[in-house]
Amino acid sequence: MTAAMVGWAHMPFGKHSEETVESMIVKVAVDAIKDAGIEPGDVDEILLGHFNAGFSAQDFTASLVLQADPALRFKPATRVENACATGSAAVHQGVRAIASGDARFVLVVGVEQMTTTPGPEIGKNLLKASYLKEEGDIPAGFAGVFGKIADAYFQKYGDQSDALAKIASKNHKNGVGNPYAQMRKDLGFDFCRAESEKNPFVAGPLKRTDCSLVSDGAAALVLTDPATALGMKKAVAFRALAHVQDFLPMSKRDILKFEGCSKAWGQALGDANLALDDLSFVETHDCFTIAELIEYEAMGLTKEGEGARAVLEGWTEMGGKLPVNPSGGLKAKGHPIGATGVSMHVLTAMQLTGTAGEIQVKNAEIGGIFNMGGAAVANFVSVMQAMK
């Protein structure tokens, strides 16, 4: 165990036009430090996950965290970016700072403000997480990238519309109980399955309910070493973590295999000396429902081409053998890019400390997280367990 989370904070995701990137950073940073029971001056290093890519006029945002308290002045602060896995990239860098002995307490913040950007610009900004040289002209932006993946999957393995609708309805049902979720509404399988005026096709076989939400939000956490964590009021340790980076162009890999995801899961579970069956739940990156479906296969829950079984047979439901996205996932919770990975770690820590409220997985002991940047390009896995 290389590091542990000892405090955290999470604001509701959604449309926050009254907030700014700075105000959201300050809000969660103050709350996370307070939750950890430390003083701001105890923080040795600050890491900010912020994708931006044109969403905010203010760039060079790492030092905005210092606005949370004067005692943070002169602390090293670095902005981290790795597309939609930006938040987990910041968390993993924080863990390394602890493991190296360079820091005793690290503050990690993830933030994004997306909804104040005009619609066409949102699509343009998100498409920057693809290989523009080859994929920049795909219609419908980043949704078009995953629409292309879904088309190819359907062609190889058959129509998966039932499975995708089940993933969407499962996650929206779970999100009802999550106070931080942007959409707390059980849409139901029938609504997610049928094309309608309120649920039109967006790209390929993907409908609106297959796509994650455009969001504003922030989350933060405090890390320390395991020995120090034992003296804190709560502690959730990293049993293992893995980061695997793959080629950016989809043309250089079999896009239906998510090989980077598979390798990251293999490394993390191997380092933790665990099997997938040992996990109590998984928070996985459902930017689009087709992504969650392929991730079932990449993590080893099913064989290739059989991911639909996991959701259609109830394996990934709250009461199933491996609940996936008890938080509601990106589908219901929202997907403020830089905040997503930090949010996944905060909600996992809540599960493992029995403080997840209405979304609590019964007897949760070990949690797995998969956060992905681009189309399975940046692949981060964390395996976590409560220390006390």
Decide if 253 contacts 247 (C-beta within 8 A): yes
Paired tokens of 216: 């504003």
With vertex at residue 100, the alpha carbon angle to CA 95 and CA 106, rounded to the nearest 5 degrees, is 45
Amino acid identity of residue 35, one-letter, is D
Calpha distance 283→279 (Å, rounded): 11
84 is catalytic: yes
Calpha distance 340→81 (Å, rounded): 12
Angle of helix 289-298 relative to helix 161-175, nearest 10 degrees? 100
Positive or negative: CA dihedral 358, 359, 361, 367: negative
**Coarse DSSP helix, strand, coil percentages of the chain, rounded to the nearest 5 percent:** 40, 20, 40
Decide if 282 contacts 206 (C-beta within 8 A): no
Instruction: Give how far the C-alpha of residue 268 lies from the chain's centroid of Cα atoms, to the nearest Å.
Output: 17
Instruction: Work out whether strand 201-203 and strand 105-113 pair parallel, antiparallel, or are unpaired.
Output: unpaired
Amino acid identity of residue 7, one-letter, is G
Paired tokens of 66: 């210092």
Decide if 24 contacts 111 (C-beta within 8 A): yes
**For residue 29, what is the enclosing H or E element?**
helix 21-36
261 is catalytic: no
**For residue 372, what is the enclosing H or E element?**
strand 366-373
Amino acid identity of residue 96, one-letter, is R
Query: Of 189, 210, 344, whose CA–CA distance to 282 is shortest?
Result: 344
For 100, other C-beta atoms within 10 Å of its C-beta total 9
Considering the candidates 10, 16, 50, 84, report the single residue annotated as catalytic.
84
Decide if 313 contacts 321 (C-beta within 8 A): no
Decide if 219 contacts 11 (C-beta within 8 A): yes
Considering the candidates 16, 92, 172, 335, report the single residue annotated as catalytic.
335
Please list the active-site residues: 84, 335
